[in-house]
């Protein structure tokens, strides 16, 4: 590891780091100013106004206990204004952190006591490590198998809690090649401080090389498709349209009408919930008959299923009923569906721009 940096700043390796560091500098400056001001005043007053005789009583500074109103207002308003700058600046960064760009490359993460399991779309898996290409927007979607964890990369200045039963997301754009600490930052039991790893930011060529040497796992979409068949999902949700279950073509990022009124936005959390708690939100026009798959699939498998379902567009084999071709998980454009609600405006394509592909299995 390369640790040529000031010992008070961690490495700066993501798009957020300079902004957070600038904000930090502002906060430190304001804090130092007021701390030093108060400290100096107190010390000066304590010395300058040292009691000189036992009987001396200082003249009261004011008459009625209200104090100098102007002074009170001034030292309330100025800190408030400085604080509002802090608020606004921090809120802008936070808002930015909450909106992964549409072209972000997806990586899936599962945290469990006490390790991080990472899945790339292409199928490559990692434990306690995350390889990403530099200067690309990366979106992590995370969940936990057990307790709450937190995926923290100090060099990127970002973290998010990783919660069982739901997906959380974290995005960043690595800006500097190197190796950076990954820490679990939510206490999770015995080996909480052992749940650490490394994020490797690589040049695009190195990343591609690493990806293709990553083993012979099938892509997530392919794995998901296989599960879709194995678990029998295709029997109701397949192209035969027997009215038992809504078609999943173009589902991802569409708006779904629910039984009993109301709508839901079919993001990855919705898809996950439909698999483990199918009776929670029933699509309008269908009966609540889907069995739950909780306990029958692992979180990684659910992530694969989600990737597969994301990929189902009108031209995919699942829609046309043709024998599934083992492709390399190319995501179709879900916004082109004509089924199940209108597509969300500006629905992001989940097609990840691909590096040149090597021959698949």
Partner 1 sequence: MASHATALRHHFENPDQQQEASSLGMWVFLLTEIMFFGGMFMAYLAYRQAYPESFAAGSAKLNVTLGMANTLVLIGSSLTMALAVRSAAAGKSNKVIVVFLILTLFLGSVFLGIKAKEYHDKWIHHEVPGANFHPDEWPKGVDMSHASLYFGLYFGMTGLHATHMVVGVGLLLFLIIKAGRGAYSPAWHTPVEMVGLYWHFVDIVWIFLFPLLYLIDPNFGRQ
Partner 2 sequence: MLTATQAPAKKESYLTDGYGLKSWLLTSDHKRIAILYLISITFFFFIGGLFAAMIRLELATPAGDLLESDTYNKMFTMHGVVMIFFFLIPSIPATLGNFLIPPMIGAKDLAFPKINLLSWYIYVVGGIFTLYVMVTGGLDTGWTFYTPFSTTYSNTKVMAAAVGIFIAGFSSILTGLNFIVTIHRMRAPGLSWFRLPLFVWANYATAMIQILGTPVVAVTIVLVAMERGLHIGIFDPALGGDPVLFQHLFWFYSHPAVYIMILPSMGVISEIISTFTRRRPFGYTFIAFSSVAIAVFGFLVWGHHLFVSSQSVYAGMVFSVLSYIVAIPSAIKVFNWTSTMYKGSVVLSTPMLYAIGFIGLFTIGGLTGLFLACLGMDVHLTDTYFVVAHFHYVMVGGAIMGYLSGLHFWWPKMTGRMYPALWSKVAAVIVFLGFNLTFFPQFILGFLGMPRRYHVYPPEFQVYNVLSSAGASILGLGYLIPFVYLMWSLKYGKPAGPNPWGATGLEWQIPSPPPTENFEVTPVVTGEAYEYHAQEVVEVG
- Contact of 138 with 105, CB cutoff 8 Å: yes
CB-based burial label for 226 (10 Å; 0-12, 13-18, 19+)? middle
Residue 289 contacts which entry, partner 1, partner 2, none (Cβ below 5-8 A, type-dependent): partner 1
Q: Is 348 helix (H, G, I), strand (E, B) or coil?
A: coil
Please tell me whether residue 243 binds partner 1 under the rule CB under 8 A. no
Q: Which stretch binds partner 2 (CB under 8 A): 64-72, 121-129, 311-319, 346-354?
A: 64-72
To partner 2, the closest distance from the beta carbon of 188 in angstroms equals: 6
282 binds, among partner 2, partner 1, none (CB under 5 to 8 A by kind): partner 1
Rounded to whole angstroms, the Cα distance separating 172 from 182 reads 14
Query: Which member of 136, 166, 277, 354 binds partner 1 (CB under 8 A)?
Result: 277
Choosing from 62, 205, 230, 292, the residue that interacts with partner 1 (CB under 8 A) is 292
Whole-number minimum distance, CB 160 to partner 1, in Å? 22
- Other CB atoms within 10 Å distance of the CB of residue 213: 9
From 40-48, 122-130, 209-217, 245-253, span contacting partner 2 (CB under 8 A): 40-48
* 279: contact with partner 1 by CB under 8 A: yes
Do 199 and 130 form a contact (C-beta atoms < 8 A)?
yes
Kindly provide the b/e burial profile for residues 147-156, where b requires at least 16 CB atoms within 10 angstroms of the residue's own CB. Answer: bebbbbbbbb
Please report, as residue ranges, which positions from 209 to 238 form the binding site for partner 1 (by CB under 8 A). none
Decide if 100 contacts 171 (C-beta within 8 A).
Answer: yes
Residues 117-176 that bind partner 2 (CB under 8 A): 146-148, 150, 152, 154-155, 157-161, 163-166, 168
State how far the alpha carbon of 350 is from the alpha carbons of 29, 100, 260, 346, in Å.
42, 12, 30, 12
Strand order from edge to edge, sheet including 197-202: 129-133, 197-202, 178-184, 149-153, 158-162
* Nearest distance from C-beta of residue 299 to partner 2, angstroms: 11
d(CA 80, CA 104): 37
DSSP string across 216-258: SPPPHHHHHHHHHHHTTHHHHHSTT--SSS---TT-TTBEEEB
* Residues in contact with partner 1, shown as a per-residue x/- string from 293 to 332 under the rule CB under 8 A: -x--------------------------------------
Residue 219 in contact with residue 328, Cβ under 8 Å?
yes
Nearest approach in angstroms of CB 315 to partner 2 is 35
**Taking CB under 8 A as the rule, does residue 282 contact partner 1?**
yes
CA dist., res. 147 & res. 140, Å (int): 18
Size of the site for partner 1 (CB under 8 A): 9
**Should residue 287 be labelled a site residue for partner 1 when binding is judged by CB under 8 A?**
yes
Among 125, 181, 349, 354, binds partner 2 (CB under 8 A): 181
The item of partner 2, partner 1, none sharing an interface with residue 76, based on CB under 5 to 8 Å by kind, is partner 2
User: Given the complex with partner 2, which of 51 and 260 has the nearer CB atom?
Assistant: 51
Q: Could you say which of 18, 101, 288, 321 contacts partner 1 (CB under 8 A)?
A: 288
Looking up tokens 């659910």 gives 302
Residue 288, interface with partner 2 (CB under 8 A)? no
Q: Which of partner 1, partner 2, none binds 159 (CB below 5-8 Å, type-dependent)?
A: partner 2
Interface stretch with partner 1, choices 122-130, 200-208, 282-290, 334-342 (CB under 8 A): 282-290
Residues forming contacts to partner 1 in the complex (CB under 8 A) are 277, 279-280, 282, 287-289, 292, 294
């Amino acid at each position: 590891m390369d640790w040529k940096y000031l010992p008070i700043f961690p490495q700066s390796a993501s798009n957020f780091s300079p902004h957070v560091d600038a904000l930090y500098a502002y906060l430190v400056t304001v804090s130092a100013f007021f701390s030093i001001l108060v400290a100096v005043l107190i010390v000066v007053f304590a010395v300058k106004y040292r009691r000189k005789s036992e009987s001396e009583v200082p003249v009261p500074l004011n008459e009625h206990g209200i104090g100098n109103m102007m002074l009170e207002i001034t030292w309330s308003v100025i800190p408030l204004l400085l604080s509002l700058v802090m608020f606004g600046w921090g809120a802008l960064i936070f808002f930015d952190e909450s909106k992964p760009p549409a072209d972000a490359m997806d990586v899936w993460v599962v945290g469990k006591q006490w390790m991080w399991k990472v899945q790339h779309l292409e199928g490559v898996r990692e434990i306690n490590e995350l390889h990403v290409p530099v200067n690309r927007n990366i979106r992590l979607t995370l969940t936990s198998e057990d307790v709450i964890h937190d995926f923290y990369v100090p060099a990127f200045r970002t973290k998010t809690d990783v919660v069982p039963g739901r997906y959380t997301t974290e995005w960043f754009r690595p800006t500097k090649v190197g190796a950076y600490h990954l820490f679990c930052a939510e206490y999770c039991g015995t080996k909480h401080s052992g749940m650490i790893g490394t994020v490797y930011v690589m040049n695009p060529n190195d990343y591609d090389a690493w990806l293709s040497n990553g083993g012979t796992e099938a892509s997530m979409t392919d794995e998901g498709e296989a599960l879709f068949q194995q678990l029998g999902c295709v029997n109701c949700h397949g192209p035969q349209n027997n009215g038992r279950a809504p078609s999943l073509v173009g589902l991802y990022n569409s708006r779904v009408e629910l039984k009993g009124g109301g709508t839901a936005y079919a993001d990855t959390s919705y898809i996950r919930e439909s698999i483990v708690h199918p009776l929670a939100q029933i699509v309008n026009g269908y009966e609540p008959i889907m069995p739950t798959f909780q306990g029958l699939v692992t979180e990684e498998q659910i992530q694969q299923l989600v990737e597969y379902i994301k990929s189902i567009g009108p031209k995919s084999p699942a829609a046309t009923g043709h024998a599934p071709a083992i492709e390399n998980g190319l995501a179709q454009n879900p916004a082109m569906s004509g089924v199940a609600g209108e597509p969300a405006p500006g629905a992001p394509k989940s097609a990840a721009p691909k590096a040149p592909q090597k021959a698949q299995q």
